[in-house]
Amino acid sequence: MSRSWTPSSWRDKPIKQEVKYSDRKAVDKALVKLQTLPPLVTPAEIQKLKKSLRDVALGNAFLLQGGDCAELFSYCESDAIDAKMKLLLQMSLVLIWGANKPVVRIARMAGQYAKPRSSPTEKVNGQEIPSFRGDILNGYPQEERDIDPGRLVEAYFHSASTINYVRSQLASGFADLHNPLDWGLGHVKDKGIQAKYQSIVTSITESLRFMRTVGADTAGQIHTVDLFTSHEGLVLEYEERLTRRMRHPSNRLPSEATMNGHIADDNDHGWYNTSAHFLWIGDRTRQIEGGHVEFFRGLENPIGIKVGPSMKADELVELLDVVNPSKEIGKVTLITRYGEKKIESMLGSHIEAVKQSGHVVVWQCDPMHGNTVTTPDGIKTRHFTSILSEVSSALRIHQQHGSFLGGVHLELTGEAVTECTGGSEGLVEEDLNLNYTTYCDPRLNEKQALELAFLVAGHYRN
C-alpha cells in the first residue's frame, strides 16, 4: 500500500459500488459547490467523540448507535427527528441504568443517504429498473431512478438542516432530564413484563429526581446530552469534498500527537471528514486494496468497519493495521453483523485475533443485517427474537473470551412502523402491511427498540 495519502488518493484504487455519472459537468459543478460549503461538524466535536469511544473501548462507557437504514430527504422534518431523538435518549437512560456506565449516543442521521446494493437493477411492476441507491444519488419513485448529481448538494443541505435542528433542540432543553418523559408502556401485553419495565422507569425517574433534589447537577449535565451523527461513507466523491485539513482542537489527547504518523503531516493539523462525527465502511466495500479503505485510512475521525460472516480473522487484523497503524485505542469500532446462527462460529476467533494483534477496539453488535428474512409474501423483515438472540450471544461470547460488548448498532425509527415482527406488541407477519414504510431494510419501531434496551439492560442487572 502506498504510504502517501490525500483525500483523493482513493481514486487510484478499485472501487466497489461505484457510481457511474452520465453528466460529468453537472457532477463537477456539484463537487465544486460542496468544496466551498462550511463544515457540518468540527474537529473539537470529532475529537470529543473519539475520546468517548476510547472510554467505550476500555470498558468505561457503552455505545448506542441507531437510526434509519436509508434516511430520506423527506425525513428532514421536526416530528420525525424529535421522535428519533426521544427514542435514543430513552434507550440511553435505560442502558445507563442497566450497565451502570455513561452511554455515548450516535445517530444514524443527518447524512445516512447512500445505500450499497447487491444488484444494480431490480424488478418493479414487471420492469427492470436501476436499484434505489439512496437519496444522495437517485430517488425511490420509479421515474427518479437515474443518478442525479444535483442530489450531492441536496444531501449536504438536508444534513445541515437536520444537524441544525438537533443542535437547537438540545440547546433548548429537549434532553433536559428534569422534564418528565412519556415512556408509553401501555402496549406491553404481558402484565409481568409491563411491571418489570415500569419498575425500571420508576427507578430511572427517581434517580433523576434525587439528583435534582440534592443539587447534584452542578455542571449542568442533566440539562442536555451529546448526540453525535454518523453515516456509511459510501459516496467518496461527496466525502472527499467535505474532508478538510484543519487544526487539531485543544481537547485532543496529547498521546495522540503522533497519530496518523504514516501520513506525512505536521502535528498541528489533520484531515477531518466534516460530513459527520463518525463514518463507517460497509461490509460490501471493506476490501483492503479498495478505494474505501484507502479513503478512510487518512481520516482523523473515529471510524467503524462492518464485519460480516465472510471476514477472515487475519484479514480483519490487516485491515486494522491499515486504518489504525498507531493502534489508537477506540479509533476503530468493529460493527459485527454475522447473524444469530453464524455469530457462534465467527465472533470468538475475531476477538482472539484482535487481542493478539494489540489493537484495542470498540466491539459493537449490529444484530440487524445478518438477520434479514423474506416472508412467503416477499416482504423483507427481521424477527425480534433473532435480533435479541444475536445481541445475547454477543454479550456471552465476549464474556467467555475475557472481552466485553461495547455497544449496539440498530436500525430503528421513532414511528409506529410494522417492519420487524415480534416484541411485546406481538407483531406477526400478517401485521407487516399495516405500516410498512421503509425504503430499504426493516427497522425496529419505537416500542421494539425500547424493549431491546430494557432487555440488554436487564442482562447487566441479572
Binding residues for Mn(2+): 69, 369, 411, 441
Q: Which does 151 bind (CB under 5 to 8 A by kind): Mn ion, ligand PEP, none?
A: none
Name the DSSP letter for residue 343. Answer: H
Phi, then psi, of 353 in degrees rounded to 5: -65, -40
In terms of Cα–Cα distance, which of 238, 297, 235 is closest to 2?
A: 297
Which cell goes with 278? 463518525
Phi, then psi, of 157 in degrees rounded to 5: -70, -30
As measured in angstroms, the least distance from the Cβ of 215 to ligand PEP is: 43
Q: How far is CA 151 from the centre of its chain?
A: 22
Choice from 306, 331, 383, 398 touching ligand PEP (CB under 6 A): 306
Site string (427-456) toward ligand PEP, x via CB under 6 A = --------------x---------------
As measured in angstroms, the least distance from the Cβ of 441 to Mn ion is: 4
Which residue, 233 or 270, is less far from ligand PEP as judged by CB? 233
Query: What residues between 128 and 147 interact with Mn ion by CB under 5 A?
Result: none
Told to check if 282 binds ligand PEP by CB under 6 A, we report yes
185 contacts 201 by C-beta, under 8 angstroms: yes
State the pairing for strand pair 243-247/373-374.
unpaired
Q: Which residues are annotated as a binding site for phosphoenolpyruvate?
A: 108, 306, 337
Which residue minimizes CB distance to ligand PEP? 282
Q: Which does 71 bind (CB under 5 to 8 A by kind): Mn ion, ligand PEP, none?
A: none
Choice from 56, 63, 69, 311 touching Mn ion (CB under 5 A): 69
Told to check if 116 binds ligand PEP by CB under 6 A, we report yes
Which cell goes with 159? 444534513
Told to check if 343 binds Mn ion by CB under 5 A, we report no
Q: Which residues are annotated as a binding site?
A: 69, 108, 306, 337, 369, 411, 441
Q: Which does 387 bind (CB under 5 to 8 A by kind): Mn ion, ligand PEP, none?
A: none
Choose one: 5-13, 54-62, 144-152, 280-288; the region binding ligand PEP (CB under 6 A).
280-288
In terms of Cα–Cα distance, which of 114, 83, 53 is closest to 285?
A: 114
411 contacts 444 by C-beta, under 8 angstroms: yes
Choice from 133, 297, 369, 383 touching ligand PEP (CB under 6 A): 369
As measured in angstroms, the least distance from the Cβ of 143 to ligand PEP is: 25
Residue whose entry in the numeric block shows the C-alpha cell 430503528: 412
Helical segments of 18-135, H only: 24-36, 43-57, 78-99
188 contacts 455 by C-beta, under 8 angstroms: no
In angstroms, the first-to-last Cα distance of the chain is: 48
As measured in angstroms, the least distance from the Cβ of 417 to ligand PEP is: 16
Choose one: 197-205, 216-224, 281-289, 347-355; the region binding ligand PEP (CB under 6 A).
281-289
Element (H, E) at 228: strand 228-232
Phi, then psi, of 93 in degrees rounded to 5: -65, -40
Q: Which does 306 bind (CB under 5 to 8 A by kind): ligand PEP, Mn ion, none?
A: ligand PEP
Which residue, 52 or 336, is less far from Mn ion as judged by CB? 336
Which residue, 294 or 441, is less far from Mn ion as judged by CB? 441
Rounded Cα distance between 204 and 328, Å, is: 35
Site string (440-459) toward Mn ion, x via CB under 5 A = -x------------------
135 contacts 72 by C-beta, under 8 angstroms: yes
Told to check if 283 binds ligand PEP by CB under 6 A, we report yes
Query: What residues between 334 and 363 interact with ligand PEP by CB under 6 A?
Result: 337
Element (H, E) at 429: none
The Cα-based distances of 224 to 105, 196, 326, 437 in angstroms read 12, 27, 34, 31
3-class state of residue 281 by DSSP? strand
Told to check if 231 binds ligand PEP by CB under 6 A, we report no
Which cell goes with 17? 459500488
Question: Under the rule (CB under 6 A), what is the footprint of ligand PEP?
Answer: 69, 116, 282-284, 306, 308, 337, 369, 441
Question: Under the rule (CB under 5 A), what is the footprint of Mn ion?
Answer: 69, 441
